[in-house]
Amino acid sequence: MTDYLDVPGEGVAGTLRYAGSDVFPFDELAELVRLARQRVGRLVAEPWCTERVRSLARQRDTTALLSALEAAGCDHPTLLDALADPVAPTEAAWVVDLLASDLPVPLRWDGGDKKRGWE
């Protein structure tokens, strides 16, 4: 049996692998996730990641969060850019989730969620 779903005339449409199979997750993906968690862990250990910053992140107030990060001495361009105008909701969402969460941060799809108001 093949691992891929072929659609005649269109090629590969998807994979037949699933979370419980012995070939999932892939070793490369597992390593990528490990490295991402390691990097995220370093960010939330920075001196600028104060309780005030984390509290504002939990409140989802991106304007106040940006001000608090700058006041605390954060100079991380990716974090600051994600919260600065014009705000891209998906970028702001991962920064807010990162700073509001306890580790480990869940790695999940955030392609928009109308229920949360972030499209």
DSSP string, 9-36: TTEEEEE---TTSTT-S-HHHHHHHHHH
**In a shared domain, residues 58 and 36:** no
| Structural domain boundaries, residue 67 | 44-103
Q: pLDDT tens digits for 32-57?
A: 878 888 887 888 889 999 999 999 99
Q: How many structural domains is the chain composed of?
A: 2
Whether 112 maps to a domain, the answer reads: no
Q: How many CB atoms lie within 10 A of CB 62?
A: 20
Q: Which element (helix H / strand E) includes 93?
A: helix 89-100
The region of weakest confidence among 24-33, 59-68, 104-113 is: 104-113
115 in any annotated domain: no
Please, which residues have CB within 8 angstroms of residue 5's CB and are 6 or more apart in sequence?
Answer: 12, 13, 14, 15, 16
Same domain flag for 99 and 49: yes
pLDDT tens digit string along 57-84?
999 989 999 999 999 999 999 999 999 9
Q: pLDDT value at position 57?
A: 93
State the residue for tokens 């940006």.
66
For residues 69 and 83, membership in a common domain is answered with yes
- In one-letter notation, the amino acid at residue 56 is L
Residue 35 belongs to a domain = yes
